[in-house]
Amino acid sequence: MTRARTAALPTGVTPTLPPPAPPTTAPRTTLSAVLPTGLRVLAAHAPAAPLAELRLVIPYARTEPGLAAAQELLAACLGTGSRDRTRQDIADRAADLGAELSTVVTAESLILSVSVLAAGLPGALDLLAELLLRPRYEEGEVAIAQRRAAAAPRAPAPRVRLRRAALAHGFGPHPLSSESGGTAPLLDVVSLVPDDLQALHARAVVPGGSSLVVLAGEGPDSVLRLVGERLAPWSGGPSGLALPPFARAVPRPGQVELTEPGTSEAGRGDAVGGQSLVLTVGPGVPTADPLHAPFHLAQLVLGGYASARLARQVRDRYGLAYDVSAGLRENGAGSWLEIACAGAPGGAGRIAAEITRCLRDLAEEGPSPAEVDRARAYAAGFTRFALATRAEEASALAGFAAAGLEPDWLDGYRERLAAVTREQVAEAAARHLAPGRAVVATYEPGPAATAPAHAGPDAPTPAAERTPAPTVPHHQKGAHP
């Protein structure tokens, strides 16, 4: 996720807080309800918590190219004004409440986060309702956001382009794999006026299809009643800005090569522009699937932590890559296993070959008992680390709510991990990690242009993408973006 902006920060002297009580390891007491407006609310009880945490998740996928520019600016300007308050007024009110407000944009959601002193929860809900119900997008704030957009790189980074190419080959046309990826042309962004954002707000920032999580010291029934009162006037939706599912449930295997000959370092657009990249897209098991736990352990054995197989083979043994990762990606479009590696220019082919070898070995031979035990311990520890603070716990609960999972899903998951056998992990690896089921995508930057000013008629063309025969050679293996 990328932080879009901070809407309001406390000003003046930071309030002194009592030391927070350690988060409980027992399941939270929770209540959920769907308001008449369509907003799903989950209230979780955190006894004696000095802070209340709110997470509002609004569907916000860039599925309509014509809205991309307005979506970019609205995310940057939301919370900078209302009919009754300026940006400074909002910041002052947040400071009075001991609150912090921020907005984050993901591939499919606009997330408003609020952290507030426990006593300020009613006021924070009032302020949130004001921003949702009576927004104001002032010309000055929109102009600032437009100048920032003009200064930021517009071309997608090589890693992003490689992922889009792999997803397009594996799953077919989709908003996640489109060349634009929802990125609006700069001319469209700078030509917008406040009324355009106001119109998009009326359509997109709506309760229908959205979810709100409140983690607070107050009883869940009191919180539900409070939310129902404060947000009852907020209406509208669903907006339709939700990611559609992929056309295929599992990716079509094959190879994708992305090259960028003659591109200067200045024009690459991100820090990995001068690196070789390898990325694979393979079958994944959704989080809610009963068979997810064995798959998760197989994925961890492959490349889920610093001493996993991929890191030992590709990075430590051969020194081919300095960035190695593997994990499940999941959203409204579907789920897939990604492996991603970055190394020195010219090494993509060998990195892909070593990744393929690791995939094949694990799929054919399965993990050792020691590897399964190590992955299980890592997964169990990570689930606790992910809930180390109440802010992280609130974000996790918001993710569960948006995905349709129960609030106590993570607690039950630890038990499911403990029950998985080595044979079940081996079966999951054989079914999902075979390299012949993956898309293997590589990127080579090519030599940098030394003198852009001298570029003439023979200047190199933009990046070229090639998709050879959709088979993975036996000596190669997948990668993760």
pLDDT per residue rounded down to tens, the chain (481 residues): 434 443 333 333 333 333 443 444 455 799 999 999 999 999 999 998 999 999 999 999 999 988 999 999 999 999 999 999 999 999 999 999 999 999 999 999 999 999 999 999 999 999 999 999 999 999 999 999 999 999 988 888 899 999 999 999 999 999 999 876 667 889 999 999 999 999 999 999 999 999 999 999 999 999 999 999 999 999 998 999 999 999 999 999 999 999 875 444 434 444 455 899 999 999 999 999 999 999 999 999 999 989 999 999 999 999 999 999 999 999 999 999 999 999 999 999 999 999 999 999 999 999 999 999 999 999 988 888 778 889 999 999 999 888 888 888 888 898 999 999 999 999 999 999 999 999 999 999 876 544 333 333 333 333 333 433 333 333 333 333 3
Q: What is the CA radius of gyration of the chain?
A: 24
Contact (Cβ atoms closer than 8 angstroms) between residue 282 and residue 432? yes
Which tokens go with 403? 């995905």
Q: Is the dihedral of CA 225, 230, 234, 238 positive or negative?
A: negative
Q: What is the pLDDT of residue 11?
A: 33
Contacts of 140 (CB under 8 A, 6+ apart): none
Contact (Cβ atoms closer than 8 angstroms) between residue 201 and residue 70? no
Q: What is the pLDDT of residue 476?
A: 33
Contacts of 103 (CB under 8 A, 6+ apart): 3, 4, 5, 6, 7, 75, 78, 79, 110, 111, 112, 113
Look at residues 15, 476, 10, 127 and name the one whose alpha carbon lies nearest to residue 280.
476
Q: What is the pLDDT of residue 458?
A: 36
Name the residue with tokens 């308050």: 85
Q: What is the pLDDT of residue 40?
A: 95
Taking every pair of Cα atoms in the chain, the longest distance, rounded to a whole number of angstroms, is 71
What span, in angstroms and rounded, lies between the C-alpha atoms of 218 and 101? Answer: 20
Q: What is the pLDDT of residue 52?
A: 97
Q: What is the pLDDT of residue 408?
A: 86
Which tokens go with 34? 């769907």
Task: Catalogue all structural domains in the chain, each as residue range(s) with its CATH number.
Answer: 2-157+173-231 (3.30.830.10), 254-466 (3.30.830.10)
Q: What is the pLDDT of residue 180?
A: 67
End-to-end CA distance of the chain: 15
SS3 (DSSP) at 281: strand
- Beta bridge partners of residue 215, listed in sequence order: 44, 53
For 11-73, give the DSSP string.
-SSPPP-PPPPPPPSSPPPEEEEE-TTS-EEEEEE-TT-SEEEEEEEEE-----GGGHHHHHH
Contacts of 159 (CB under 8 A, 6+ apart): 270, 272, 277, 279, 340, 342, 443, 481
- Beta bridge partners of residue 101, listed in sequence order: 8, 114
Contact (Cβ atoms closer than 8 angstroms) between residue 277 and residue 442? yes
* Tens of pLDDT, residues 251-281: 999 999 998 754 444 344 444 558 999 999 9
Look at residues 347, 407, 414 and name the one whose alpha carbon lies nearest to residue 376.
414
Q: What is the pLDDT of residue 386?
A: 75
Q: What is the pLDDT of residue 357?
A: 97
